[in-house]
A and B are shown apart, each in its own frame.
Chain A
C-alpha cells in the first residue's frame, strides 16, 4: 500500500500581503501502510489545511509531499493521478451529490478515471456494497434517500475510485448515534477488508479512541503530538488545555487521580475503565 511522506511542509496564506498567515508550519508526518491515523485539533489548528495538501488541493509554500517516494508536485500536470490514489471525503459530503441517480453519482469518479463501462459498473456495485447501500437505491434520486444514506452514497463515490489512501473529514458530523455507529463500522470493515490506509479527522475523541492506531494532534498550525492512542490520551490534561475534550471515562479517571487515587488514566472506553476500576472497588473480577 502507498505511503504518504510529508516533509516539513508550511503553508502561508496571502504570502507577502499584510494578511499573511501561516496556516500550518513545518509539519512532518509519515503514514504507516494500512494504519488508521486519527487527526484532532481545535478549529483553526490547521487540520483542514493539512489534509488538503495530501491530495494536492493545496500546494505547500515550503516542504515536500512524497507519495511512495515520488514528489507529488514534481510534475504539476500529473496531480490529477494523485487525487485518484488519495481519496478525500469532505465534511457533509452529501451536499456534493449532484447527479439524478445514486448510480451515476457513484460512477462519476471512476468515469473520470477513464475506466470502461464494465469496470465502472463493477466498482459502483462494490462501493455501494462497501457502504451498505441496497442495490435498489442505486436507481433512486439522492432526494429520495435519508440523510445517513446520502452520506454513505457520497462516501461510496470516493471508494469507487479505489484509493490507496482514504481521508475522511469528520464523517460522522451531524449524525445520530446509530448513524455514527454505521459510518464508523463501515470505515473499520472497509479497512479490514482492503488494508487501505485511512486518515480520519474528527472532533470526537471517543470515535478516534475506538478506531485509530495513532493520533496526530494539531495546535496552531503545528504538530503538538503524534503518537499511539494510548500515549496521546495519557496526556489528557494537556489535551484539555488545548480546548480538546477527552472521553468522559478518561476524565473520570483523571478526576480520581487528582483526588489521590493511584490509577493509570490511559483509558478511553467504558470496558477499559471497568478493568481498571474493579480491583479498586472490590467488585467481582471481570471474566
Chain B
C-alpha cells in the first residue's frame, strides 16, 4: 500500500548560510494493505514529516514514496494519491469546515464532483461507520472533542480512501473521547480492512496495532509487533519513550525472579498471566 524507499527530507532554508536541517535521513518502510501500524517517536523525531509524505503533502528531497505503486513526486499522481490516503490531524477544530455535521462530511465527496445521490450515500455510510449518524444535523462546534474527531474521520472515509493516516488524533481528548476514537479506528481496520497508520504518544494506543514502528533522529529505530518492540524497554526509554504500564510491571516482576511472559501489553493479559502464576 505505502512504500517508503530511502526517503530523505529537509525543509528549505531561507538564508543560504544556514545548512538546512535534515528531518528525515533515509527512511525505509513498507506498509501492507489492511495492516494497522503505530508510529512512535519523541517530538521532533520526524514522524509527522514522514506522515505528510504518505499523501504528497510533502515530497521527498531524496528517495521516493510509492502509494499503491504511484510515485508521489509525479504531479499527475497528487490527486489519486490524496484520494487513496486520507489524513486526520491532532486538533479537530482545525479540520472541520462546515456548520452542520453532514455538510462537513460531504465536503470531500462534493469536491470530487460526485452526483448528489452518491454523496448522500457516502455521507450516511461514513457517519454510520463512526457511529455519529444520529448527530448528522447537529452543529460540529457543539460536539465533544471525541465526537468532533470522529466527524473528521467520517469526512476522510467519505472520500473512500484505502488508507487512513492519523496524526495524534487523541492528543486533545479526554479518556472517553480517546476510547471512542480508538474503537472507531480499530473497527475500521478489523471490519473494513482499512489500512491504518496511527501516530501517537500513548504507548497503550500503540499496543493496539499489529505493528509498531519507532522513529528517532529521522530514521526508523526499531520495527516489529508491539510484543517485540515493547519488550525492549531500555531502548525505548533511551529515546524518550516508554512502555505500557502492564509491560513495565511484568518486566519488573521478571527482574525479581517471577516467571512471567515478556509479551504482555494490556491490563487484562497481565492480570490473566498473574493469576496463572499464582495458581502454580
Contact = CB atoms under 8 A, between A and B. Distances in A.
Interface residues on A, range: 35 or more
A251 B244 CA distance: 13
A43 B144 CA distance: 8
A150 to B, nearest CB: 11
Contact of A203 (B175, B242, B253): B175
B176 interface: yes
B80 interface: no
A176 B42 contact: yes
Interface string B119-159: 00000000000000000000000001100000000000000
Contacts of B145: 43
Interface in B138-190: 144-145, 168, 171-172, 174-177
B248 A270 contact: yes
A259 B275 contact: yes
A149 to B, nearest CB: 10
A252 interface: yes
Contacts of A146: 43-44
Nearest to A92: B172
Interface string A236-270: 00000001110111011001100101000000001
Contacts of A1: none
Interface centre among B144, B145, B274 (most CB of A within 10 A): B274
Given A178-B42, A252-B246, A243 B176 contact: yes
Contacts of B277: 281
Contacts of A148: 43
B2 interface: no
A280 interface: yes
B245 interface: yes
B249 interface: yes
Contacts of B252: 270-271, 274
A191 interface: no
A69 interface: no
A146 B176 CA distance: 29
Contacts of B245: 206, 247-249, 270
A175 interface: yes
Interface string A206-218: 1000000000000
A179 B41 CA distance: 12
Given A174-B90, A252-B246, A270-B245, A147 B43 contact: yes
Nearest to A180: B201
B270 interface: yes
A243 B175 contact: yes
B90 to A, nearest CB: 7
A42 B175 CA distance: 8
Nearest to B271: A255
B267 interface: yes
Given A243-B176, A245-B175, A177 B256 contact: no
Contacts of B256: 274, 278, 283-284, 286
Interface of B: 41-44, 90, 144-145, 168, 171-172, 174-177, 201, 203-204, 240-242, 244-246, 248-249, 252-253, 256-258, 267-268, 270-271, 274-275, 277-278
13 contacts: A42-B174, A175-B201, A176-B41, A176-B43, A178-B43, A243-B176, A248-B246, A248-B267, A251-B267, A252-B270, A255-B268, A261-B275, A270-B248
Given A174-B201, A177-B203, 8 more contacts: A146-B44, A176-B241, A178-B43, A249-B245, A256-B274, A274-B253, A280-B278, A282-B258
